[in-house]
Structure 1
Amino acid sequence: MDERLARCLLIAKVLTADGIMTDSEREFLESAMETLGLSDAERAQVRDLEGWDEAEPVVAAMSEESKRELMDELVRAVLADNKVSPHEMEVIEKLSGALGLE
């Protein structure tokens, strides 16, 4: 799995943490997938959260700067609908710890 796909899978995971993906969150995810140049097959994989559990080790191997950029992107993602659920924050905190960014 490459970093682009891993990033989008983690964004999708955070956005679905509360069981709801709003239209604005969905737009954020679609924009991220477009910006990163994901193929149609990769986009379907992200939408289905297929392989999200394999994404964490991929991003854990990224540079410190890339990890911080990803965390910033995850925060922007949850703010896309102007509401942050406790479930979304819990996933972000767990990912931050797993990436050594606490």
Structure 2
Amino acid sequence: MPTIHPMNPKVAKCLLVSKVLVADGIMTDDERGFLDAVMAGEGLDPDERRRVIELDGWDEAEQLFRTLPVEQRRALIDQLVDAAAADGRLSTQELATIRELSTQLGITT
């Protein structure tokens, strides 16, 4: 049975990146590569990676990010825009998800 990790900022960031990447119903190879690079950069262990890939904890991730300093929330929104552009195009669904998350995190774009 896998160890259940509590939500932490690294996993939360990767989950919110994944939320944007799947917003249009398709995750391209470029987007998968972007997510993999973010997970590697954050040093996620195999259980944490599985949690992100299974999209387990979006609501918890949003709640955790709401408590972080505004600079970290702004940096996340910037990274979400980069994620949405990873496949060379910004879908309306991805942009809508970024706008929704920006509002929920108290960041105006």
TM-score range, shorter chain: over 0.9
Within-5 A mapping of 1:64-83? 64-83=70-89
- Taking structure 2 as the reference length, the TM-score comes to 0.92
* Residue 26 of structure 1 pairs with residue 40 of structure 2: no
Structure 1 segments of 4+ aligned residues over 6 angstroms from their partners: none
Structure 1 match to 2:68: 62
Between the aligned partners of 1:53 and 1:19, the Cα distance in structure 2 is 19
Within-5 A mapping of 1:78-97? 78-97=84-103
Between the aligned partners of 1:13 and 1:99, the Cα distance in structure 2 is 14
Q: CA deviation at 1:51?
A: 1.0
> What's the CA shift string for 1:40-69, capped at 9, x where partnerless?
011011011011121101011111110111
Paired residue type of 1:73 = Q
Between the aligned partners of 2:68 and 2:59, the Cα distance in structure 1 is 16
Larger CA Rg, structure 1 vs 2? 2
| Equivalent residues, number | 102
Paired residue type of 1:61 = T
- Taking structure 1 as the reference length, the TM-score comes to 0.98
Where does the alignment leave 5 or more consecutive residues of structure 1 unmatched? none
Structure with greater helix share of residues? 1
Where does the alignment leave 5 or more consecutive residues of structure 2 unmatched? 1-6
